[in-house]
Structure 1
Amino acid sequence: MITALGLHCYVDAIFNGRDGVPKENSPFINNTEHDKNNSYDGTNMALFEEEMDSHPMVSSLLNKLANYTNLTQGAHEHEEADEEEGSKKKAITSPQMGTFMGVYLPCLQNILGVILFLRLTWIVGTAGILESLVIVGLCCSCTMLTAISMSAIATNGVVPAGGSYYMISRSLGPEFGGAVGLCFYLGTTFAGSMYILGTIEILLTYIVPQAAIFRAERKEEAVDALLNNMRVYGTCCLILMAIVVFVGVKYVNKLALVFLACVILSILAIYAGVIKSIFEPPDFPVCMLGNRTLQNHGFDKCLKTEVIDNLTVTTKLWSVFCDGPDLNATCNEYFVNNNLTLVQGIPGLTSGVISENMWSEYGPLGMLVENKKLSSFGGSDPTKDIYLPYVVNDITTFFTLLVGIYFPSVTGIMAGSNRSGDLRDAQKSIPIGTILAIATTSFIYISSVVLFGACIEGVLLRDKFGDSVEGNLVIGTLSWPSPWVIVIGSFFSCCGAGLQSLTGAPRLLQAIARDGIIPFLQVFGHGKANGEPTWALLLTAGICEIGILIASLDSVAPILSMFFLMCYLFVNLACAVQTLLRTPNWRPRFRYYHWALSFLGMSLCLAIMFISSWYYAIVAMVIAGCIYKYIEYRGAEKEWGDGIRGLSLNAARYALIRLEEAPPHTKNWRPQLLVLLNLDSDQGVKHPRLLSLTTQLKAGKGLTIVGNVLQGTYLLKDAEAKKAEQNIKSAMSAERTKGFCHVVVSSNLRDGVSHLIQSAGLGGMKHNTVLMGWPETWRQSNDPESWRSFIGTAH
């Protein structure tokens, strides 16, 4: 017989060598000094599988132990071993990246994007500097706390394909993992829609506005025309990007650094423009009629009239507000009563405009963008003038809406953990790279909020599309040396982010499909011969088209915010559960985490979901709940040693201890049944309807233990006992009897029944009633034991 001490000494000799020098670091011993000199720092037992299998003596020893204890690995364990072996081979052949290239830069590229260039100035102008800082601080704190939890989970072992889905499913179980994995997939897919819409908005608004197919003949048709243009061009762009991803995904990865370089150059251009504005502010005048901001399209002078050759003539602006070009024409009352003035849109860092931009300027749809400093002499009703060339709100604005629109700008924190297989030292690179990327982008966003509010006039900040400065990108008016640096940089940034989303989302769906937990998704686990997820890409493009048909970036952003927040919430929950349960396999190398931080991050995610859009939050939860219940009832059975099962074990243990403290009160009494079944010679259940009677007796409540006694020796009857247990469980399932099965092997039938009656149950969950069948044909039987066993059992 092999003793545990002998096995420990033998394995220790293999791992440490005959000279006593450690060759590998045991995952069960956290020795800091030893880890520093260990080339396999941060690994777990899974990585020793290949070496142990290659050693003939260890392989023989393990086989003997498996045969002796009759332990077999399930099919899923073999699949996981194959996946781990494939990921190890891939890690050997692929380039090993460090923290900077493997984690920091990918996270930076995914976090910085379309919202920074297209919406941040508008958010600052609408919410004011103080509330904008609250929005940025709230969202960045959420992602930082999530990154801490994610770092703990990611450093607890190797994270293969699937990234966040793998982490959550192996920590919280297949039901939570599948639900949150699909939510993260939908979030990534809608992120692709948002980036494509951002690309088309930059193209049609700032680069080639004359390329618009639909044009508005009247002012009230402008919004519909813009949305239709976004739909047509967005669909074409989606098809083109999907073809690029299908044909050459490797080129997308190679161009990632080019797109990132565009983002970095654009940000540097903004900071350079801020510094230049101290000495020489750029010339971007905004034309004001009274205190109302005018669109600067179609006229070149902010004048009502001008003198040419000693003759006073009207300007193009006069013709817009009057019914003719003549001086005696009938004009708009407000136009007559107020003067035209020029306000410098970029007064500069030292102008003192920061004090005026501190407070919010929320308003309804169609509200005119006004300058509170300038006086107005009243006149016509502003609600009737929104179709004149004023700058107006295109949507109703309020604080919670801006939270939902801004949050997508801080997503992308899992780009590093998704590449763990390509990292030289994932245990070290993922926490450092992710947290540094979040700190860097948080500094960029916070400084941008302050600098935008300190350099740009409020009316220009609230001008979402830059209509008052000849259609320039508002953030581009501040940049140096030219606004085109921001326009081109943001265009390529949105293109690159869209391609990355269309590349990553199908692979996430493929990882979920290959796990087999959602049966109807298994078709998406297949692809081209080289493993590319072709079918998953088609589904991703179809869902992405839904976001493009919505056509409004401000409407799509809150949708993907919900799905990302749902994912981040469960990452924090997974870390908190594993930490509180103190499961044996929970040994993350990242030490700077705490369950309270994870719980705070989880609460913050939930709060932001309902702050930004309570109805979107409910819809996202309903979708996740439906997926959870579907996996629970129809999905394949998976056992991953997840934290939810550990939580159930702890809860059951606590409840059993509480039940044993005192006998149950008569109000709480229920029939706790021990059902003794008879089996035939093939270990089949003789009277399955007895189980139906059992269910009726206790009305589906209380405890049910179904037992049987096999005569013989346990070592010889082990296979029969397992077969009998499976048959009883099948009969219980067919009769819809919920309970437990207990098969006892004994040399004597009466003694076995006695042992079963005495030992069945646990703690306060013990039976108080025995149900058994009446002996058949006991009068005609020649064997007196048939009725003696029955009488003995009753006795």
Structure 2
Amino acid sequence: MGERFVVVPVGRGDGEGVVSDPAPETETQGAAAGGQRDPDAAVPILEYSREPNKYVVPVRDGRRKTRKVGSVAEEEEEDVDDNNALREADEDAPGDGNPKENSPFINNTDNDKANSYDGKNMALFEEEMDSNPMVSSLLNKLANYTNLTQGAQEHEEADDEEGGPKKKTVKSPQMGTFMGVYLPCLQNILGVILFLRLTWIVGTAGIMESLAIVGMCCTCTMLTAISMSAIATNGVVPAGGSYYMISRSLGPEFGGAVGLCFYLGTTFAGSMYILGTIEILLTYIVPKAAIFVAERKEDEVDALLNNMRVYGTCCLALMSLVVFVGVKYVNKLALVFLACVILSILAIYAGVIKTAFEPPDFPVCLLGNRTLQNQNFDKCVKTEVVDNVTVTTQLWGLFCDGPELNATCNEYFNLNNVTVVQGIPGLTSGCKTMQDPTSLTFCKNVVGHSQCVNVFMAVSLPDNMWSDYGPLGMLVEKKRQPAVLSGDTSRDGYLPYVVNDIASFFTLLVGIYFPSVTGIMAGSNRSGDLRDAQKSIPIGTILAIATTSFIYVTSVVLFGACIEGVLLRDKFGDSVKGNLVIGTLSWPSPWVIVIGSFFSCCGAGLQSLTGAPRLLQAIARDGIVPFLAVFGHGKANGEPTWALLLTAGICEIGILIASLDAVAPILSMFFLMCYLFVNLACAVQTLLRTPNWRPRFKYYHWALSFLGMSLCLSLMFISSWYYAIVAMVIAGCIYKYIEYRGAEKEWGDGIRGLSLNAARYALIRLEEAPPHTKNWRPQMLVLLNVDTDLAVKHPRLLSLTTQLKAGKGLTIVGNVLEGTYLTKDTEAKRAEQNIKASMAAERTKGFCHVVVSSNLRDGFSHLIQSAGLGGMKHNTVLMAWPGSWKQSNDPQSWKNFIETVRETTATHHALLVAKNVDSFPGNQERLGEGTIDVWWVVHDGGMLMLLPFLLRQHKVWRKCKMRIFTVAQMDDNSIQMKKDLQMFLYHLRLDAEVEVVEMHDSDISAFTYEKTLVMEQRSQMLKQMQLSRTEREREIQSITDESRSSIRRKNQSARSPSRQASPQAEEDEAQLIHDRNTASHAALSDKAEAGVHMTWTKEKLFTERNRGREPNSNVAVRDLFNMKPNQSNVRRMHTAVKLNEVVVNKSQGAHLVLLNMPGPPRNRGGDENCILFAQPER
């Protein structure tokens, strides 16, 4: 850092506004400016309207190193920031490209300076062009900055015709919102839970509670997507996926906690998808492939889990091998898996529509009100008549001890009839009851046994409206179906009834369902491939969530309206011969859903095993979790080998659990923790008013993030309170480990000792870990002056500090008293009390520091070097402009100011200098509609953009609009510069008007030449004469008055009517002006004119200075009036005059103007001229 700034408000209360004219120029220029100029008019760098409430702030960048200011570079991620673009701009654009000047008014013998800079309009900043390039030269690079596409190198590289490796061409990102974000999110959100568990959730929880579950989960993800959209629009989205986007925007602590939770969630998601794949394979595709077969009904669950473990482990090994060997094939098959998902969804909706007029035939057999598994019998009857002979059926044999009609049967079997119910009654079943009267009652008495079969269409919607939870092993029974209960229920578990394999309750269903709404970060994972990530991620993600929410809500209602309740609660489809329940609804065939869901789960598992290792590798390479460093290594082509190995190991843990219903809540916890941190971080960033937090997403509000965070926390405890506690402990440990790694914990003595220890540890951590440039904010050192009564001279300087800081960050108010501390200790304490009182009055929160020093210059130097403690040090110095330096009795007053500027440059601090600071608005004032004008002349690292943003956060400046002006040279493309500047502001999320001002490379006017000459003559005179202070001031004034009279005479007689003079004519004109100037001063040395009363003579000069060397004195006087101005000084004065003109013309009505301030010369011999360049004499 090393920016220097001048803050210049215009005085108020002067009544009518007066604007000083710019400097007089040639006739053509004067006419273009609108009239004659007064040669006596002073030409400061900035002349503004004196109307009330008009404030002007010229801003100066004085850095000696090219370094980005954090609050403007926050949108770039740490590893791929825009410092590279800036360095390229510095190398490609050493100057503005204008040809060398050839002016007759410049002493062209100064070859060194003439060769150091091309052009004269920006000569004021020529010494700094090597480190701070012109805005016009690097604006295009800043505006076109983009993220860098990241991706693993493929294993196979095509060889060229000569056998060498063929270099790949890096293509620019071209993916749009639909293909890059919307479809990937759709594929990841719709998955295994929709196909395997949603029907069971609807049947168990009922339509109303299912809608509540879906609503809570979808609302949670929608709020998280809004927060993520704010992150995505808070700067240029870095390539590398969600972790890079979140960690680079929210910091390492939040980023690491979110990243590891996201990693664990993605890894367990791989386990869930693999378990879903095996469940579909063994239950619905090839049931005979099961290795473990249960001999007893009570062993069926254990057999299924063992099969899941064996096949799941094999499937995990196969998928890991595919990911290790051929990642590119996984990416290429992504579209195939996506097509399977979309085709399956379309098949479901087609089947629903078909049920309205032709329901499919999937009968469900009921015994009384109990649902039967029909894999082991083909007819839902107890007995049947064959050739007039009543025979028993397979169903009879399942409940009786023999096939005989007089065999002993189960009591419940004897007391209840068998009923056939349509499993898919259809969409219109909720409107009316459709019964088959011919088969409604089919009963026949056979040897004392009643054989009755009822076939009818159930009324699904009312039956499925409410929940039907139950414990493990509870029979699945039809609601409102009459049945005769038996006293003996001991053998019900061994009979072919459909039962609950797990205990069901509302909170369990929430945990099982939530993974079906995850996957919202799939689009942000492709951030490096998006054409415009800031636009595509918010739109694509929110649209994908809205689409999937619509699918889930309509599915809940349609499933409840079309499918019989007992079939909905039949998780594995045992009542419909082992068919997938949702498959019975699809059209044209149940196999469409079965095959589609199988490949969908396979693809999702491969995507999880592909993404999770890369996420872990990115975290490890960041170095925020040291013990994970080994997983940052991989193969030569970048593939995360070790991370894949760890991911497969964690994934195996989920597979060994074996139950999809048990893994889903674990997965939910980690994703909920991830979403909670995203929402929490966004809310905290907004409430803390972090300068780099400026999301462009207009629908974001911190209350939405807070609501999303609360909903995530609630869902965690609703799903499983003990899982929630474990997940929070893991996430909290990660956060604190990243935050305090390496710090040793100690306990203080009492509350004060605890506070002191906390402060000490915080300071130590700040010192060891300096803030990243994106977290940069101004930490102020305010250099305040007191009067003879030790009262604060400029209290409005504290008002400006308050408006810039808004109570955030560090503020140190410093003051220097001249003397020794032994004699000034009482005054120092009283001055400190007065300053603290002024700080309280101006609501400035910070610290006060009064230093007693032998001189002011050393005192301010000590403050700048040593103020602060440890890492809590200032990075910006604010001081008042020495407005009375010309009238000061101390000839060193201006030198103190120049040295302060030079020392802030050496310490790489930003410097803000407030001119007319007493005219700044107080904290209680409210400025109306107006503008804050920024004149961006040279690149300052971003402070010019940051200052108006910070001021507009305060209620004083809130209604002011921002305008950006930049200066174009003759060979610059103004139209393209404006487009580039608008794009740059778009990346910075700043709303401002843009204007490019052209400064023509005009000839240096006679006024500029004469003004520079007067400045150098006075400087030389002060060095040669040893007069008293009063005499010196009178002599300076006399020389100034005479020079102005000379300028008036020459402007009236020596102006050329044409600007197209030949080079010889220009030289003649220059010589003429110089001869007249010399003759005027020679006459002044011989005799005094009537209107000028000189206070010295040649004799006095000889006597007072260097007695005994009269000949040398005569030579010195003669040289004084025969001197020519230095070429560099003329160019600098020309820049000051021209810049003053354009600012006056464009920013007269602005409330505030910010402008780069020229720094002091590297050669200390020109210090006396530096302050004149910033504010020429009147």
Q: Sort the TM-score into its range (normalised by shorter chain).
A: 0.7 to 0.9
Distance 2:207 2:517 in 1: 18
Q: Which residue in 2 is equivalent to 1:550? A: 657
Question: Where in structure 2 are the equivalents of 1:570-581 lying within 5 Å?
Answer: 570-581=677-688
Which residue of the other structure, out of 619, 627, 632, is the alignment partner of 1:512?
Answer: 619
Question: Where in structure 2 are the equivalents of 1:575-594 lying within 5 Å?
Answer: 575-594=682-701
**Secondary structure at 1:93's aligned position in 2?**
coil
Look at both structures and tell me which one has the larger radius of gyration over its CA atoms. Answer: 2
Distance 2:325 2:857 in 1: 62
Q: CA 1:139/1:58 → structure 2, altered by over 3 Å: closer, same or farther?
A: farther
Correspondence 1:597 to 2:704? yes
Identity of aligned residues (%): 77
Which residue of the other structure, out of 525, 529, 538, is the alignment partner of 1:431?
Answer: 538
Letter paired with 1:577: V
Correspondence 1:338 to 2:375? no
Q: Which residue in 2 is equivalent to 1:144? A: 222
Distance 2:217 2:510 in 1: 8
Question: Where in structure 2 are the equivalents of 1:447-462 lying within 5 Å?
Answer: 447-462=554-569
Question: Where in structure 2 are the equivalents of 1:744-763 lying within 5 Å?
Answer: none
1:615-665 residue CA offsets vs partner (Å, 9 max, x unmatched): 111000011112223223336947446779999xx9x9969999x9xxxxx
Correspondence 1:391 to 2:515? no
- Structure 1 residue 184: Cα displacement: 0.9
Q: Which residue in 1 is equivalent to 2:293? A: 215
State whether residues 285 and 345 of structure 1, in contact with CA within 8 Å, keep that contact through their aligned partners in structure 2: yes
Q: Which residue in 2 is equivalent to 1:227? A: 305
- Structure 1 residue 243: Cα displacement: 0.7
Q: CA 1:718/1:2 → structure 2, altered by over 3 Å: closer, same or farther?
A: closer
Q: CA 1:337/1:46 → structure 2, altered by over 3 Å: closer, same or farther?
A: farther
Which residue of the other structure, out of 179, 190, 193, is the alignment partner of 1:115?
Answer: 193
Correspondence 1:475 to 2:582? yes
Which residue of the other structure, out of 448, 459, 469, is the alignment partner of 1:362?
Answer: 469
Which residue of the other structure, out of 135, 160, 181, is the alignment partner of 2:259?
Answer: 181
Distance 1:44 1:739 in 2: 26
Correspondence 1:199 to 2:277? yes
Distance 1:524 1:241 in 2: 20
Letter paired with 2:295: E
Q: CA 1:710/1:657 → structure 2, altered by over 3 Å: closer, same or farther?
A: closer
**Secondary structure at 1:445's aligned position in 2?**
helix
Distance 1:62 1:306 in 2: 107
- Structure 1 residue 360: Cα displacement: 0.4
Correspondence 1:246 to 2:353? no
- Structure 1 residue 447: Cα displacement: 0.5
Q: CA 1:715/1:156 → structure 2, altered by over 3 Å: closer, same or farther?
A: farther
Q: Which residue in 2 is equivalent to 1:52? A: 89
Q: CA 1:135/1:655 → structure 2, altered by over 3 Å: closer, same or farther?
A: same
1:352-373 residue CA offsets vs partner (Å, 9 max, x unmatched): 1211110000111111000122
* Alignment length (residue pairs): 645
Correspondence 1:446 to 2:558? no
Correspondence 1:133 to 2:211? yes
Q: CA 1:381/1:152 → structure 2, altered by over 3 Å: closer, same or farther?
A: farther
Q: CA 1:344/1:86 → structure 2, altered by over 3 Å: closer, same or farther?
A: closer
- Structure 1 residue 285: Cα displacement: 0.2
Normalising by structure 2, what TM-score?
0.51
**Secondary structure at 1:343's aligned position in 2?**
strand
Distance 2:365 2:462 in 1: 22
Distance 1:739 1:56 in 2: 37
Normalising by structure 1, what TM-score?
0.74
Q: Which residue in 2 is equivalent to 1:617? A: 724
Q: CA 1:611/1:709 → structure 2, altered by over 3 Å: closer, same or farther?
A: farther
**Secondary structure at 2:377's aligned position in 1?**
coil
Distance 2:322 2:282 in 1: 22
Correspondence 1:376 to 2:475? no
**Secondary structure at 1:279's aligned position in 2?**
coil
Distance 1:257 1:129 in 2: 33
State whether residues 262 and 492 of structure 1, in contact with CA within 8 Å, keep that contact through their aligned partners in structure 2: yes
**Secondary structure at 1:342's aligned position in 2?**
strand
Aligned Cα RMSD in Å?
4.1
Letter paired with 1:122: W
Distance 1:257 1:581 in 2: 43
Which residue of the other structure, out of 575, 592, 597, is the alignment partner of 1:485?
Answer: 592
State whether residues 104 and 434 of structure 1, in contact with CA within 8 Å, keep that contact through their aligned partners in structure 2: yes
Q: CA 1:638/1:174 → structure 2, altered by over 3 Å: closer, same or farther?
A: farther
Letter paired with 1:109: Q
Distance 1:583 1:90 in 2: 41
Question: Where in structure 2 are the equivalents of 1:606-685 lying within 5 Å?
Answer: 606-634=713-741, 637=769, 639-640=771-772
Q: Which residue in 1 is equivalent to 2:1102? A: none
**Secondary structure at 1:539's aligned position in 2?**
helix
**Secondary structure at 1:307's aligned position in 2?**
strand
Q: CA 1:640/1:200 → structure 2, altered by over 3 Å: closer, same or farther?
A: farther
Q: CA 1:656/1:348 → structure 2, altered by over 3 Å: closer, same or farther?
A: closer
Q: Which residue in 1 is equivalent to 2:341? A: 263
Q: CA 1:520/1:645 → structure 2, altered by over 3 Å: closer, same or farther?
A: farther
Letter paired with 1:113: G
1:262-288 residue CA offsets vs partner (Å, 9 max, x unmatched): 111111111111111111100000000
State whether residues 72 and 774 of structure 2, in contact with CA within 8 Å, keep that contact through their aligned partners in structure 1: no
1:65-110 residue CA offsets vs partner (Å, 9 max, x unmatched): 9999xxxxxxxxxxxxx99667599995255101100000000001
Which residue of the other structure, out of 426, 449, 452, is the alignment partner of 1:348?
Answer: 426
Q: CA 1:740/1:416 → structure 2, altered by over 3 Å: closer, same or farther?
A: closer
Letter paired with 1:326: E
1:178-218 residue CA offsets vs partner (Å, 9 max, x unmatched): 12211110000000000000000000000000000001011
Distance 1:356 1:610 in 2: 30
Q: Which residue in 1 is equivalent to 2:248? A: 170
Distance 2:810 2:617 in 1: 44
Distance 1:387 1:638 in 2: 69
**Secondary structure at 2:493's aligned position in 1?**
coil
Distance 1:90 1:413 in 2: 32
Letter paired with 1:348: G
Q: Which residue in 1 is equivalent to 2:629? A: 522
Letter paired with 2:691: P
> More helix by proportion, 1 or 2?
1
State whether residues 237 and 534 of structure 2, in contact with CA within 8 Å, keep that contact through their aligned partners in structure 1: no
Letter paired with 1:303: V
**Secondary structure at 2:356's aligned position in 1?**
helix
Q: CA 1:565/1:710 → structure 2, altered by over 3 Å: closer, same or farther?
A: farther
- Structure 1 residue 558: Cα displacement: 0.6
- Structure 1 residue 576: Cα displacement: 1.5
**Secondary structure at 2:494's aligned position in 1?**
coil
Q: Which residue in 2 is equivalent to 1:697? A: none
Distance 2:240 2:551 in 1: 29
State whether residues 94 and 129 of structure 2, in contact with CA within 8 Å, keep that contact through their aligned partners in structure 1: no
Distance 2:778 2:626 in 1: 26
- Structure 1 residue 158: Cα displacement: 3.0
- Structure 1 residue 588: Cα displacement: 2.1
- Structure 1 residue 602: Cα displacement: 1.0
Q: CA 1:655/1:587 → structure 2, altered by over 3 Å: closer, same or farther?
A: closer
Distance 1:309 1:143 in 2: 64
Letter paired with 1:372: K
Distance 1:150 1:325 in 2: 67
State whether residues 161 and 508 of structure 1, in contact with CA within 8 Å, keep that contact through their aligned partners in structure 2: no
Q: Which residue in 2 is equivalent to 1:416? A: 523
Q: Which residue in 1 is equivalent to 2:608? A: 501
1:568-606 residue CA offsets vs partner (Å, 9 max, x unmatched): 111112222222233222222321111111111111111
Q: Which residue in 1 is equivalent to 2:231? A: 153
The unaligned stretches of length 5 or more in structure 1 are 12-26, 30-42, 69-81, 661-703, 730-737, 742-795
State whether residues 172 and 643 of structure 1, in contact with CA within 8 Å, keep that contact through their aligned partners in structure 2: no
Letter paired with 2:89: M
